[in-house]
């Protein structure tokens, strides 16, 4: 399978994310310390909560049949935990409201507008907050292209494309779920738009 075929194997969507990136040295990419076994390491709180939610769904469905009032109470507690997690994610120093930009997103890479020219084969550390589900993903990436935009009125004269490197499995799964969910939502929205 060629590199292009590998990249195209994943769905791609246009989405809005809160994006922070910084250039890093290639040596940092090859160090395994970034890829921690700690499920809460490296901003993976959202991924950890999603794993726990998946494990609890079966128990919740049984509890709804036998003790519906207890199940309702646990749903309220779950909502509180989710709100606290969202607040913690938003407190991250790297994320600012003004950093929300439109991107082309897949489970293998990302295309985004940027203010400076990035060099092909440069390495980046990328942190992205998926605004619609409040999930944070941290990964390394390699720049595969950076070209001038024809319309730079937005304040972003370049568009860059990157491939993820050493992304944690749980983050990739979270990203795939987010992409599929957003894709379904976009399809529904396009069907609801009245034809003129």
The full set of domain ranges for the chain reads 3-190
Residue 180 or 10, more confident: 180
pLDDT digits (tens, 9 = 90+) for 64-84: 889 989 888 888 888 887 777
- Give me the DSSP letters along 143-155: EEEEEE-S--TTS
Task: Return the top range by mean pLDDT from 17-26, 28-37, 159-168.
Answer: 159-168
Beta strands 158-165 and 12-24, pairing class: unpaired
Top-tier CATH class for 3-190: mainly beta
Q: How does DSSP classify residue 157? A: -
Position 175 pLDDT exceeds 80: yes
With 0.85 as the threshold, say if the pTM is over it.
no
Residue 1 or 48, more confident: 48
Position 166 pLDDT exceeds 80: yes
CA distance 74 to 64: 10
> Tell me, what's the pLDDT at 121?
94
Indicate the pLDDT class of residue 48, thresholds 50, 70 and 90: low
Give the SS3 label for residue 96: coil
For 49-69, what is the mean pLDDT? 79
For 78-105, what is the mean pLDDT? 68
> Tell me, what's the pLDDT at 38?
38
For 101-117, what is the mean pLDDT? 90
Q: Is residue 20 within 8 Å of 128, Cβ to Cβ?
A: yes
Residue 5 or 184, more confident: 184
Position 141 pLDDT exceeds 90: yes
Phi, psi (deg, nearest 5) at residue 41: -75, 155
> Tell me, what's the pLDDT at 89?
57
Q: Is residue 30 within 8 Å of 196, Cβ to Cβ?
A: no
Orientation angle between helical segments 68-90 and 45-66, nearest 10 degrees: 170
Position 96 pLDDT exceeds 60: no
What DSSP element (H or E) covers 78?
helix 68-90
pLDDT digits (tens, 9 = 90+) for 147-164: 998 876 677 889 999 999
For 11-15, what is the mean pLDDT? 84
For 6-18, what is the mean pLDDT? 71
CA distance 148 to 110: 17
């Amino acid at each position: 399978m060629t590199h292009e075929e590998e990249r195209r194997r994943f769905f791609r969507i246009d989405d809005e994310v809160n994006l922070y990136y910084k250039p890093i040295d290639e040596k940092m990419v090859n160090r395994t310390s970034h890829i921690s076994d700690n499920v809460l390491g490296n901003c993976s709180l959202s991924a950890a909560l999603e794993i726990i939610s998946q494990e609890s769904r079966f128990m919740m469905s049984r509890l709804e049949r036998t003790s519906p009032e207890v199940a309702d109470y646990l749903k309220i507690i779950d909502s509180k935990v989710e709100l606290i997690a969202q607040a913690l994610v938003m407190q991250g120093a790297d994320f600012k409201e003004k950093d929300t930009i439109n991107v082309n997103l897949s489970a293998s890479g990302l295309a985004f507008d940027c203010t400076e020219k990035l060099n092909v084969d440069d390495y980046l550390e990328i942190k992205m907050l998926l605004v619609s589900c409040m999930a944070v993903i941290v990964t390394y990436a390699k720049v595969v292209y950076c070209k001038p935009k024809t319309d730079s009125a937005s304040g972003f004269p370049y568009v860059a494309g990157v491939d993820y490197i050493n992304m944690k499995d749980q983050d990739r799964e979270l990203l795939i779920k987010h992409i599929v969910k957003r894709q379904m939502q976009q399809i529904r929205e396009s069907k609801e738009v009245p034809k003129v």
